[in-house]
Amino acid sequence: MRGNEPTLGQLGEFPMIDRLVAGRRQPNTTQLGPGDDAALVRCADGRAVVSVDMLVEGRHFRLDWSTPEQVGRKAIAQNAADIEAMGARPTAFVVGFGAPAHTSAADCTALADGMWAEAEQLGAGVVGGDLVQADRWVVSVTVLGDLAGRSPVLRSGARPGATLAVAGELGRSAAGLQLLRDGVGTGDFAELRRRHLVPQPPYGQGVVAADAGAQAMTDVSDGLIADLGHLAAASRVTCDVSRAALAPDYGALASAGAAVGADPWSWVLGGGEDHALVAAFPGAVPGGWRAIGHVVEGPAQVLVDGAVWDGLPGWQSFDSGAPLP
Amino acid sequence: MRGNEPTLGQLGEFPMIDRLVAGRRQPNTTQLGPGDDAALVRCADGRAVVSVDMLVEGRHFRLDWSTPEQVGRKAIAQNAADIEAMGARPTAFVVGFGAPAHTSAADCTALADGMWAEAEQLGAGVVGGDLVQADRWVVSVTVLGDLAGRSPVLRSGARPGATLAVAGELGRSAAGLQLLRDGVGTGDFAELRRRHLVPQPPYGQGVVAADAGAQAMTDVSDGLIADLGHLAAASRVTCDVSRAALAPDYGALASAGAAVGADPWSWVLGGGEDHALVAAFPGAVPGGWRAIGHVVEGPAQVLVDGAVWDGLPGWQSFDSGAPLP
């Protein structure tokens, strides 16, 4: 019990689900929401963009750092970013949630509240889910998106001569993680900590990029160098990034870097989870985007000011990378 | 290492994913498969049916009972059944997979092999996924389905006078689970054990039911009484099931019941995970289906031969129910 709230074990799966879905609003793309064997979502242009991300407690979030609502927001936001990175708009989310039987129903509701709030901000709906018992929290979110007739913007289309540009901010999430790990973060740094707990992808800019003729696009989930590396490999080009163009990100993190003794470049170039978008434009960079470098002929690699960067390679999913904390 | 196979931790996320997706075939509904930020799936009638199921090691499967390939098949099959239960056909699956860093790449590939094989049997594709580190295996599968212009068959449409009918078999999975728990199951019972490890939903019968005018339908994932209970509640009717009509299921399990000292009726009426389909038909029951009872006016409940059944209520997701031993 937490206060007068029952646990998941006391309440049981179906009464908990009834609580989770009661009174939620759905957008008009949701033709049938939670409550039957499956949901029904409108895919007006005859296609669905689809992606999945799984978040594991202790690996992708900590419940002593994040509120359940923040976990819910983060899970929705990072999935939405994958849809944005195709030049599409998220329309619907389905959620697999595993948690211990002793989890309070209030925490489960707060997780769902965060998901619904973030989805609503996107004009999308949480249309279905599954609730099961697990040793630790695990949140698996699948997102559907709508291209509205556009061609998807792949990672493989970047051509020499294109301008690389970013929508959204870089390095905030990694800085916030370091501040949380080091127990630093009152006052000025509270916002950076929040950025780690709930990323703020540049919603809507994926469609802007597609409409502006972006040749290739991806979201920065593992780190700018790492994710541009995927784009460079898929496009068989070299991506050359300019540190001068990233100076605003560096500057925003300089005092946090000094506070924890870290090099802000490692956050800007190597830090993931901000879910900024990076794209290659053959012509002018649209509003909301800022140029950060160029696509050039050469082997599939990422250069910083023309040289190989020797910093951190970005997030790794298995233990060669660093788990929390 | 397992033989010469590296572990997930040694190989890393992206090289493992490259192995998992190399050489896989995709149906023509898959416009873009794994490898970018998201996949692209054709939804020809402008809608997508969507559902998710999460399977947790130790709770929904045991790796000393199931091969990784069987876990993969089961995860796909039970999701496919949710789509069938709407009167639709599965077209695409996306998979979130969490596993320890010491998991062998061979086991991970075998899981994917099982998923691809089961999906191929359905004419569907595994179009994307996420691979993360977790303490135990957790498999979250989301399925998309195609109604091909049909109206979805909901749980809420059953009307008094309709005939209840089943496609597929009942009680096999529960019997197999008991045989596995008790260590009984060589010879004659091997098939029942396999049915627990890999269910065999009656693929295609959901569409048959929809085309035959089914008023309401669901799949038997928690147990016939439990799942008919959801249908009865949604439709605000009483479902009356005849034991005589279920005699073939009982008969098929009689010797297994004797071997472990269990009442086969508890398996037939209370056992889930066979993913049979149960539906209410206003007229004749189509081929592939067998009548098992009737919809009558009355409170939302399920009766067996006109009386409340006092057996097990079916699978529960939290610890009030029985986890795997």
Single out the residue in A146, A172, A203 at which a domain terminates: A146
Q: Are residue B64 and residue B180 in the same domain, yes or no?
A: no
Residue B102 forms part of a structural domain: yes
Coil, helix or strand at residue B214: coil
Q: What is the 3-state secondary structure (H, E, C) of A203-239?
A: CCHHHHHHHCCCCEEEECCCCHHHHHHHHHHHHCCEE
Residue A324 forms part of a structural domain: no
Q: pLDDT tens digits, residue range B174-230?
A: 999 999 999 886 677 999 999 999 999 999 999 999 999 999 999 999 999 999 999
pLDDT at B4: 78
pLDDT at A257: 95
pLDDT at A314: 63
Cα dihedral across residues A240, A246, A247, A252: positive or negative: negative
pLDDT at B321: 43
Domain coverage including residue B300: 163-308
pLDDT at B254: 95
pLDDT at A319: 64
Q: Are A276 and A148 in contact (CB under 8 A)?
A: no
pLDDT at A1: 44
Going by pLDDT thresholds of 50, 70 and 90, the confidence category of residue B5 is confident
Q: pLDDT tens digits, residue range A9-46?
A: 999 988 999 999 999 999 999 999 999 999 999 999 99
Residue B296, token pair as written in the block: 């009558």
Q: Are residue B220 and residue B127 in the same domain, yes or no?
A: no
pLDDT at B311: 74
Q: Check CB contact of A59 with chain B, cutoff 8 Å.
A: yes
Smallest CA–CA distance, residue A207 to chain B, in Å, is: 14
Q: Are residue B255 and residue B212 in the same domain, yes or no?
A: yes
Q: Check CB contact of B15 with chain A, cutoff 8 Å.
A: no
Q: Check CB contact of A1 with chain B, cutoff 8 Å.
A: no
Residues A277-299: what's their mean pLDDT?
97
67-106 in chain A: CB under 8 A from chain B: 82-83, 85-86, 88, 92, 94-98, 101
Residues in A closer than 8 angstroms to B128, CB to CB, are 50-52
First to last CA, chain B: 28
Please answer yes or no on whether A132 and B320 come within 8 Å at the CB atom.
no
Residue B265 forms part of a structural domain: yes
Q: What is the overall mean pLDDT for chain A?
A: 94
Please answer yes or no on whether A140 and B52 come within 8 Å at the CB atom.
yes
Q: Where do the H-state alpha helices sit in chain A?
A: 8-11, 13-21, 68-84, 105-121, 172-181, 190-197, 205-211, 224-235, 247-260, 264-270
pLDDT at B185: 65
User: What CATH number is given to the structural domain containing B183?
Assistant: 3.90.650.10
Q: pLDDT tens digits, residue range B28-40?
A: 999 999 999 999 9
The answer on pLDDT for B320 being more than 60 is: no
Pick from A164, A167, A166, A169: nearest CA to A252: A169
Q: What is the overall mean pLDDT for chain B?
A: 94
Q: pLDDT tens digits, residue range B159-179?
A: 999 999 999 999 999 999 999
Q: Are residue B197 and residue B133 in the same domain, yes or no?
A: no
Please answer yes or no on whether B130 and A53 come within 8 Å at the CB atom.
yes
Q: Check CB contact of B44 with chain A, cutoff 8 Å.
A: yes
Residue A1 forms part of a structural domain: no
Q: Are residue B259 and residue B182 in the same domain, yes or no?
A: yes
Task: Name the residue of chain B whose CA is nearest to A47's CA.
Answer: B42
Smallest CA–CA distance, residue B78 to chain A, in Å, is: 11
Helix axes B105-121, B13-21, angle to 10 degrees: 40
Total domains in chain A come to 2
Q: Are residue A26 and residue A119 in the same domain, yes or no?
A: yes
Residues A162-173: what's their mean pLDDT?
97
Residue A157 forms part of a structural domain: no
The answer on pLDDT for B303 being more than 70 is: yes
Residues in A closer than 8 angstroms to B8, CB to CB, are 318
Q: Which whole-number Å values give the CA distances from A299 to A217, A225, B113, B264, in the listed order?
A: 19, 15, 33, 66
B125-133/B89-99 β-pairing: parallel
110-139 in chain B: CB under 8 A from chain A: 127-136, 138
**CA separation for the pair A22, B238 (Å, rounded):** 25
Of residues B259 and B3, more confidence is placed in B259
Task: Name the residue of chain B whose CA is nearest to A58's CA.
Answer: B134
User: What CATH number is given to the structural domain containing A77?
Assistant: 3.30.1330.10
Smallest CA–CA distance, residue A177 to chain B, in Å, is: 19
pLDDT at B1: 44
Percent of chain B residues past pLDDT 70, beyond the cut = 94
Residue B233 forms part of a structural domain: yes
Going by pLDDT thresholds of 50, 70 and 90, the confidence category of residue B317 is low
Q: Are residue B142 and residue B167 in the same domain, yes or no?
A: no
pLDDT at A321: 44
The answer on pLDDT for A177 being more than 70 is: yes
pLDDT at A3: 62
User: What is the separation of C-alpha B200 from the centre of its chain, rounded to a whole number of angstroms?
Assistant: 8
Q: Check CB contact of A319 with chain B, cutoff 8 Å.
A: yes
pLDDT at B233: 97
Residue B16 forms part of a structural domain: yes
Q: Are residue A21 and residue A136 in the same domain, yes or no?
A: yes
First to last CA, chain A: 28
Smallest CA–CA distance, residue A37 to chain B, in Å, is: 5
Q: Are residue B252 and residue B123 in the same domain, yes or no?
A: no
Query: Is residue A196 part of an annotated ligand binding site?
Result: no
Pick from A186, A199, A174, A185: nearest CA to A262: A174
Q: Are residue A17 and residue A107 in the same domain, yes or no?
A: yes
Pick from A112, A24, A119, A92: nearest CA to B51: A92
Q: pLDDT tens digits, residue range A45-73?
A: 999 999 999 999 999 999 999 999 999 99
Task: Name the residue of chain B whose CA is nearest to A218's CA.
Answer: B37
pLDDT at B3: 62
Single out the residue in B115, B146, B177 at which a domain terminates: B146
Instruction: Closest CB to A46: pick one of B9, B38, B44.
Output: B44
Smallest CA–CA distance, residue A312 to chain B, in Å, is: 16
Q: Check CB contact of B49 with chain A, cutoff 8 Å.
A: yes
The answer on pLDDT for A324 being more than 60 is: no
Cα dihedral across residues A141, B75, B318, B315: positive or negative: positive
Q: Are residue A42 and residue A76 in the same domain, yes or no?
A: yes
Residues B86-113: what's their mean pLDDT?
97
Residues in B closer than 8 angstroms to A129, CB to CB, are 52
Single out the residue in B119, B146, B173 at which a domain terminates: B146
Instruction: Closest CB to B31: pick one of A47, A55, A133.
Output: A47
Out of A86-90, A109-113, A137-141, B15-19, pick the least confident. Answer: B15-19
The answer on pLDDT for B310 being more than 90 is: no
Percent of chain A residues past pLDDT 90, beyond the cut = 90
Residues in A closer than 8 angstroms to B60, CB to CB, are 132
pLDDT at B261: 93
pLDDT at B315: 64
Q: Check CB contact of A56 with chain B, cutoff 8 Å.
A: yes
Q: Are residue A78 and residue A182 in the same domain, yes or no?
A: no
Going by pLDDT thresholds of 50, 70 and 90, the confidence category of residue A320 is very low
**CA separation for the pair A83, A27 (Å, rounded):** 17
Instruction: Please enumerate in sequence order all residues whose Cβ is within 8 A of that of A232, keeping only pairs 6 or more positions apart, or say none.
Output: A158, A238, A239, A300, A301, A302
Residue A316 forms part of a structural domain: no
